[in-house]
Amino acid sequence: MKTIRTEEMNWQDIQEAIQKGYKTLVVAVGSIEQHGPHLPTITDTLIGDSLVNEIVKKIGNALQGPTIRIGCSKHHLSFPGTITLSTETFKAVVTDYAESVTKHGFENLVFIPSHGGNFVALEEVINDLKKKLTDVEIFGYTDLYGFLDILTSYSIEAGKTQEEAGAHAGENETSLMLALAEELVMKDRLIPGFIEKFTEKEVEIIFEKGMKALTDNGVLGDPRRASAKDGKIYFEKLADFLATEVSKMIN
């Protein structure tokens, strides 16, 4: 096959692929939101789209569905460029997406969120859909801390502090973007943001009052020591981990 992305294929090739055993569709669920002065608003969507492409190649017999580009980003709205869906709309988009997919013979539909704000809503809507849809098995990787653990464990290995690696547009996300789309990173604007301990209290502040309550420039972490080399390693570790998790789900 020339491509594993259904959006680049025609319906006949998709049908043929399903008949040949490509029974799993994997979909990234990203966001369009501010990522500090140095990263583009497409960051989460771009990382998720690239990750899912790699996951699909690793698990085999699977195709990549169109990435859901806009997610739940209400807490970033005070920064220009952020576009958000309400939780209700987000769940409706995922529901309609899943209902469309049930018509064509896929056996498994897997959603992979690449933006923290999507995890809870995605888990809730998937649980609803599990009861509702009978023709296709629906899954999601919705353990935010499992996802973050993979990033953190490599940050520590690479000699970076957790505060620096950051929860948003810090060292790890910037490294990922340097590896995936270096031309979109503004290297002359790598400025630290909130670099204190990031605990449940900070998460609460962000979701209640918005990102500006914690960081003026929209960054949680310090991107200055980010590198494409480390970004490639973060990417491989995430892709390996998620491919294993997806294989476990569907088998």
Segment lying near Zn ion (by CB under 5 A), choices 41-49, 70-78, 224-232, 237-245: 41-49
Residue 111 structure tokens: 């959603």
CB of 31 to Zn ion, least distance (A): 7
Question: Rounded to an integer, what distance in angstroms lies between the CA atom of residue 5 and that of residue 26?
Answer: 10
Q: Quote the least distance from Cβ 47 to Zn ion, whole Å.
A: 7
Are the C-beta atoms of residues 179 and 49 closer than 8 Å to each other?
no
Whole-number minimum distance, CB 43 to Zn ion, in Å?
5
Q: How many residues does the chain have?
A: 251
Interface with Zn ion (CB under 5 A), residue total: 2
**Residue 44 interacts with Zn ion (CB under 5 A)?**
yes
| Complex with Zn ion: residue 24 or 43, whichever CB lies closer | 43
Kindly state the smallest distance separating residue 48's Cβ from Zn ion, in Å.
9
CA distance 217 to 36: 6
Q: Considering only residues 88 through 127, tell me which ones interact with Zn ion, judged by CB under 5 A.
A: none
Stretch touching Zn ion by CB under 5 A, among 40-48, 51-59, 127-135, 200-208: 40-48
Report the side by side order of strands in the sheet with 137-140: 62-64, 24-29, 108-113, 137-140
Beta bridge partners of 64: 5, 26
Nearer to Zn ion, 43 or 64 (CB): 43
CA distance 149 to 126: 23
Per-residue binding string, Zn ion, 126-165, x by CB under 5 A, is ----------------------------------------
With binding defined as CB under 5 A, does residue 222 bind Zn ion? no
- Measured from each CB, the residue nearest to Zn ion is 44
User: Which of 241, 239, 248 has its CA nearest to residue 64?
Assistant: 239
CA 138-250-144 angle, 5° bins: 65
The CA angle 24-27-31, to the nearest 5 degrees, is 175
CB-wise, 24 or 30, nearer to Zn ion? 30
Shortest Å distance, C-beta 15 to Zn ion: 35
Chain CA centroid to CA 83, Å: 16
Binding segment (CB under 5 A) for Zn ion, from list 35-43, 73-81, 82-90, 219-227: 35-43
Which residues of this chain interact with Zn ion, rule CB under 5 A? 43-44
